[in-house]
Structure 1
Amino acid sequence: MTDQLPPQPTTPPPPAEPPAEPLVAPTAELAKRQLTPLAAGVLGLAIGAAVVGGAWLVTATTGPSEPATFTLKGTFALTDSVYTDPGDDSCRGSADSGYDDIAEGTSVTVYGAEGDVIATGSLGQSNSDETGTACTYKIAVPDVPSGEKFYKVEVSHRGTVQLTAEEAENGELAASLG
């Protein structure tokens, strides 16, 4: 055996292959990247629009709904001291009899079961009977809230007529004065 070492190569060994790049950058590297001001603005605008759109959708689909209403229909007849206009079939209460407040356009008030005013309207078109002794008016009061136990209807200041909820909603008002 000898004390001599075998000759050593003078060139260094080839470098080891670098490790393959990962497909996803590490989280720390992502944190180091900053958005450009334009990208940050577009991202903020998109998030804000999504939040506002979502809030609008929720409130539009879950908000309070309009209460159910109906049009109270019927007739009102004045059977005393009727004045018929010459030339047409319209009529009204006679001025000398105390019924001069009864005419087309006279107020019609609808009260709920608690006695509160829930709708208003007016007397509509009038027609006199063949003898000219009675005058009948059409009534149509819109937007009367449904759901009352009963309804009271008053023409002018002449007292109330009570109807069941079914009668009111079915257009069965038939009141008279005189």
Structure 2
Amino acid sequence: MTNEFPQQADTDTAASEPLAVTEAPAIREMPPQPPMPPSKNRPSPRVAGLLGLAAGAALVGGAWVISANIGPGDPDTFTLKGFFSLTDGSSVVRDGSGGCRGSGGYDDIQEGTSVTVYDASGSVVATGNLGDSKGAPYSACVFKVAVDGVPKGQKYYKVEVSHRGTVQMTAKEAEAGELAATLG
């Protein structure tokens, strides 16, 4: 190895000489690449379309359900519940299954007989029917009463079974299910 440095060209003479221009290397064209196989992480266009359709249907259905549950609902109502008793023992007929009905002058009193609820002004606000019956001690016949859809907000209500006259109840009694009407 030598400690000699190559001799540097004189800067004054190097600046005066023209620079040599070299040609750029030719650009080679790449051979065509084969098409990429479908990615295993991407669904086919048909599957993607079906997934999009299902997602859109789910969104529309969800919006419909939400909008159906928003807005003005039914007015506040309650079910008027209680019991109606036919107490004239001589007019009660018992059936073999523990039920009963009226007879003679009370033959209109039986399961299915109409129950009408009136508001304070006398307008009909709900209707229903006498429900299941049960023979009770002392020859009485007791019917369940449940009238759906009675609107809240009245001071009192009147309840009529068949055509037998009305029984008046306060709103508090009616909403608490305290109907206890008798006939006979």
Q: TM-score, normalised by structure 1?
A: 0.62
Q: CA deviation at 1:94?
A: 1.2
* 2:160 alignment counterpart: 154
Q: What letter matches 1:150 in structure 2?
A: Y
SS at match of 1:166: helix
* 2:54 alignment counterpart: none
- Tell me if the contact between 1:82 and 1:91 (Cα under 8 Å) persists in the aligned partners: no
Q: CA deviation at 1:130?
A: 3.2
* 2:87 alignment counterpart: 79
Q: CA deviation at 1:63?
A: 3.6
- Tell me if the contact between 1:82 and 1:135 (Cα under 8 Å) persists in the aligned partners: no
> Aligned to 1:113, which of 101, 120, 138?
120
Q: TM-score, normalised by structure 2?
A: 0.60
SS at match of 2:158: strand
> Aligned to 1:139, which of 129, 142, 145?
145
Distance 1:73 1:64, change over 3 A: same
* 1:124 alignment counterpart: 131
- Tell me if the contact between 2:83 and 2:145 (Cα under 8 Å) persists in the aligned partners: yes
Task: State yes or no: 1:64 paired with 2:86.
Answer: no
Q: CA deviation at 1:82?
A: 3.2
Q: CA deviation at 1:88?
A: 1.8
Q: CA deviation at 1:62?
A: 7.0
SS at match of 1:104: coil
> Aligned to 1:93, which of 92, 102, 105?
102
* 1:173 alignment counterpart: 179
Tell me the distance in 2 between the aligned counterparts of 1:63 and 1:76. 38
SS at match of 1:171: coil
* 2:55 alignment counterpart: none
- Tell me if the contact between 2:86 and 2:92 (Cα under 8 Å) persists in the aligned partners: no
Distance 1:124 1:62, change over 3 A: closer
Tell me the distance in 2 between the aligned counterparts of 1:86 and 1:76. 18
Tell me the distance in 2 between the aligned counterparts of 1:72 and 1:87. 29
Q: CA deviation at 1:149?
A: 1.1
SS at match of 2:174: helix
Query: Any stretches of 5+ residues in structure 1 without a counterpart?
Result: 1-52
SS at match of 1:168: helix
